[in-house]
Amino acid sequence: MGMTMTQKILARAAGVKSCRAGDLLMCRLDMVLGNDITAPVAINEFERMGATKVFDPARIALIPDHFVPNKDIKSATMAKQMRDFARAQNIVHYYEVGRVGIEHALLPEKGIVAPGEVIIGADSHTCTYGAVGAFSTGVGSTDMAVGMATGECWFKVPEAIRVVLKGKLKPYVSGKDVILHLIGEIGVDGALYQSLEFCGEGVASISMDGRLTIANMAIEAGAKNGIFPVDDVCRAYLAERVSRQWQAFEPDEDAVYSREVVIDLDQLELTVSLPHLPENTRLARECADLTIDQAVIGSCTNGRIEDMRMAAKVLKGHKVDDRVRCIVIPGTQQVVKDCLAEGLVDIFIDAGAIFTMPTCGPCLGGFCGVLADGERAVSTTNRNFVGRMGHKNSEIILASPAVAAASAIMGRIATPEEVMA
């Protein structure tokens, strides 16, 4: 019986020749990730279990990105605990303010993750790194603590859903539209503890930034992970970032899948997700009656340079509606530099938007864009649960950077074609 990409990676990490869905494996870890919310809990557990040294200081990543620069005393205390631990353990991949970025944008950019590797992170969107052909998944802080101490983690081998991408993306349509469409089709529990394995000729038309967006939101369909094949586009991306050896895996021809979903990219349209679940999808052009108070462009889902370029393309020469607050959040310091070098920051500011430092901030209702009672935001983030971005009576509409930018201009859900006409 053949194996999927995910099954091959897990088998390698467990030191076994093969595995099948449902097997329990103890796997060697290539990277363990935590942030300023989840790492302090893991550090407490690490110390409680009597551990004194991490298994490998070069295979731990501690990224202060949720409430940093610190917004209050509590967040400052949590960040300090992680900082002190990183210094005491000589953690290689700790990035202080001024060098840090949003974790799931930073790790691929820095080449910290690579094909064939097994990565766990105490953050549900750790599944992002499947875009580079890795097995990556979110875990709890206790599992993170054990991973830091032992370099191992156990997994139940997931079944897989084969997602076949056909055709080519149309102008303005992006990876965000692909994943929102998929979640709308299969539901938020449609891939529960399964692997979403993407394939087909349509993959070639999706950039690495787009693939990172798609893999990032695999968890919103309940998936254990999302994973893409390593093709020429991926290899070119890795060549600029990863110097160590890595191994790519392809599924066997007789690999077993629980189901197959086909998406025709030629027919795909700009898609949004209405409150209060990512599966509540509609075509953007059908939602023109929905006014907004805030537009957020950024996050670990859509804070990369391609996202910034698309938002700037739509905003250029236009003004954000007087009733709308438009917040643009670059994913990393490199994205900040690229935006400055390319003149994108001028476009954002001239349009009436604010350009901030890299932060998770408003995505989780933390800071830098919290919503009040009755307010509605269009956001390029990944979740629109009740109270996710602030008050329990606020609403979030998930969208791509193109739609978010157009909506900021129009003061309602809009498509870039309306603005650019």
User: 1 falls in which pLDDT band (50, 70, 90)?
Assistant: confident
Instruction: Give pLDDT tens digits for 240-265.
Output: 899 999 999 999 999 999 999 999 99
- pLDDT band of 288, cuts 50, 70, 90: very high
Average pLDDT (287-300) is: 96
Q: Report the C-alpha gap between 308 and 297 in whole angstroms.
A: 8
* Strand ranges for 167-268 from DSSP E: 194-199, 225-227, 259-264
User: What pLDDT band is residue 68 in, cutting at 50, 70 and 90?
Assistant: confident
Query: Which residues lie below 8 Å from residue 86, measured CB to CB, with a gap of 6+?
Result: 62, 94
Q: What is the pLDDT of residues 315-350, one digit of tens each?
A: 999 999 999 999 999 999 999 999 999 999 999 999
- % of residues, the chain, pLDDT over 90: 95
Are 197 and 293 in contact, with CB atoms under 8 Å apart? no
> Which stretches of 53-194 are DSSP H helices?
73-88, 103-110, 141-150, 175-186
What average pLDDT score do residues 72-91 get?
96
Distance of CA 285 to CAs 282, 297, 329, 355, 406, Å? 8, 19, 25, 27, 11
pLDDT at 421: 73
Tell me which residue of 148, 149, 145, 123 sits closest to 136, measured CA to CA. Answer: 123
What distances in angstroms separate CA 110 from CA 28, 90, 94, 286, one per listed residue? 22, 18, 12, 39
pLDDT value for 71: 87
Residue 205 pLDDT level (bands cut at 50, 70, 90) = very high
Burial (0-12, 13-18, 19+ Cβ within 10 Å), 225: buried
d(C-alpha 272, C-alpha 287), whole Å: 9
The torsion region of residue 365 among left (phi > 0), alpha (psi -120 to 50) and beta comes to left
Q: Judge contact between 115 and 132, C-beta under 8 A.
A: yes
Mean confidence (pLDDT) of the chain: 96
DSSP 342-403: TTHHHHHHHHT-EE--S--GGGGT-SSS-B-TT-EEEESSS---TTTTB-TT-EEEE--HHH
pLDDT digits (tens, 9 = 90+) for 147-167: 999 999 999 999 999 999 999
* Of residues 255, 253, 30, 302, the one with CA closest to residue 161: 255
CB 262 within 8 A of CB 186: no
Residues 286, 301: contact at Cβ < 8 Å? no
Of 179, 185, 180, 177, whose CA–CA distance to 198 is shortest? 179
What local confidence, expressed as pLDDT, does residue 8 receive? 97
Query: Both tokens of residue 172?
Result: 């303005």
Query: Is the CB of residue 273 less than 8 Å from the CB of residue 183?
Result: yes
Cβ 217 vs Cβ 242: under 8 Å: no
- Tell me the pLDDT tens digit for each residue of 360-407: 888 888 888 999 999 999 999 999 998 899 999 999 999 999 999 999
CB 166 within 8 A of CB 267: no
Could you tell me the domains of the chain?
A: 5-264 (3.30.499.10), 271-420 (3.30.499.10)
Reading the block at residue 389, the tokens are: 């971005």
